[in-house]
Amino acid sequence: MSLDTPTAPGETTAQAPRLEVAHLSCVFDGREVVRDVSFRVAPGEIMCLLGPSGCGKSTTLRVIAGIERQSAGSVHADGKMLCNEVFSTPPEARGIGLIFQDFALFPHLTVGQNVSFGLRGPKARVQARVGELLERVDLVGYADKTPHMLSGGEQQRVALARALAPRPRIMLMDEPFSGLDNRLRDGIRDETLQLLKEEGTAVVLVTHEPEEAMRMADQIALMRDGQIVQKGAPYNIYNAPCDKAAAAFFSDINVIRGRVTGLLTDTVFGQFLAPGVGDGTEVEIVFRPQHVKLDFDRHGSGPNPTPQDGVPARGLVERARFMGHESLVEFRMDFDGGRLKATVPGVFLPKPGTPLWLSVRRDRCFVFPVTA
């Protein structure tokens, strides 16, 4: 089954993905805030929608959940259609768990009653499930409290437990860990994911934090202006970004410019291949600070060029800062007076004005044509 031919209403196939979103668009006030978004999520897989504020992440989730209607496209679960332009299964009949940015607990119910809200069956089994979940979200002993007695982060964890309780086959999570402090967040995040994986739930997780996406996702869909601009495993998105903005979303970047002649671009760091880019085109060579190698200045000269690291170029340290697990060194380059950044593991704090030679791992440079 291809992404372009989702199954018809009511039809199921053995290989259907747990969740399939195909060509989804959503228009508000004449503006298309989600544009032709397609992705699939398998059972136990975590798909992260990553992108800046306002790019359409929550709207995409809301359409999948059934609380917003699309203008085009369809959503299928296990091959069964949940909605398209004309048909829509009500939210409560979709078997989808939700944790939204603006989650709300039932204020008049206890924590235990909130968590057991969607559960049916013998009381002992329900209570056992509630106990198990409260333990997972680190809220043992909270079952009889009411939401107003809880901090924001504690309430968020109750919402998480409530959404997980009925073992939904699809879970939609919109920035579910954003209100938690760092220490709690890492623990709860890992616990939650393990639980969802164990239960074979397909997860769509929305975040605007690249570190969170890298840490949690099996697949990342990078969104911009309502569209998915790149989709893939975290490693691939990080190491083969589709354009400069995609590279810049994950870390600081360095950019130098050049012009293509005969498929090659001459730069101070040596020649770069620019496959498929026409002669005379201006290109940007983009690389991350952690892929810059530093060498000491030996009476005005640097290390010899190598095939792996290209040609070194000299710069003067402008400032150096210790960032915790690495140091960030900023340079003003001799060749054009431009600034480049390098990160070095551990503590490396050379004085301003120190000359150092920079070279760049060739296989970690990305070459993109300059766009207006």
Of 139 and 223, the one with the shorter C-beta distance to ligand ATP is 223
Considering CB distances under 5 to 8 angstroms, the limit depending on partner class, which of Mg ion, ligand ATP, none binds residue 53? ligand ATP
Q: Quick one: how far is CA 287 from the chain centroid?
A: 20
Contacts of 262 (CB under 8 A, 6+ apart): 279
Report the partner that residue 187 touches, choosing among ligand ATP, Mg ion, none (CB closer than 5 to 8 A by kind). Answer: none
In the bound complex, what is the minimum distance in angstroms from residue 177's beta carbon to ligand ATP?
14
Q: Which stretch binds Mg ion (CB under 5 A): 52-60, 90-98, 189-197, 339-347?
A: 52-60
**Residue 203 Cβ, how far from ligand ATP at the closest point, in Å?**
17
Residue with smaller CB distance to Mg ion, 7 or 58: 58
Q: Count Cα neighbours of 72 within 13 Å in the Cβ-side half-sphere.
A: 10
**Cα–Cα distance between 241 and 222 in angstroms, integer?**
10
Instruction: Write out the binding residues for ligand ATP, residues 13-42 only, by CB under 6 A.
Output: 28-29, 33
208 binds ligand ATP (CB under 6 A): yes
What SS3 class is residue 47?
strand
Partner that binds at residue 147, options Mg ion, ligand ATP, none, CB closer than 5 to 8 Å by kind: none
User: Could you give the count of Cα atoms lying within 13 Å of 83 in the half-sphere of its Cβ?
Assistant: 24
Q: Rounded to an integer, what distance in angstroms lies between the CA atom of residue 45 and that of residue 2?
A: 19
User: What is the H or E stretch that residue 76 is in?
Assistant: strand 72-77
Q: How would you list the strands of the sheet with 72-77, edge to edge?
A: 31-41, 19-28, 72-77, 80-83
Binder of Mg ion out of 7, 25, 58, 230 (CB under 5 A): 58
Q: Is 54 in the site for ligand ATP (CB under 6 A)?
A: yes
Amino acid at site 361: R
Taking the complex as a whole, the smallest distance from the CB of residue 99 to ligand ATP amounts, in Å, to 14
Q: Which is nearer to ligand ATP, 54 or 200 (CB)?
A: 54
Nearest-angstrom CA–CA distance, 252 and 196: 32
Task: Give me the least distance between CB of 174 and Mg ion, in Å please.
Answer: 6
Strand partners, 30: none
Catalog residues that contact Mg ion under the rule CB under 5 A: 58
Catalog residues that contact ligand ATP under the rule CB under 6 A: 28-29, 33, 51, 53-59, 208
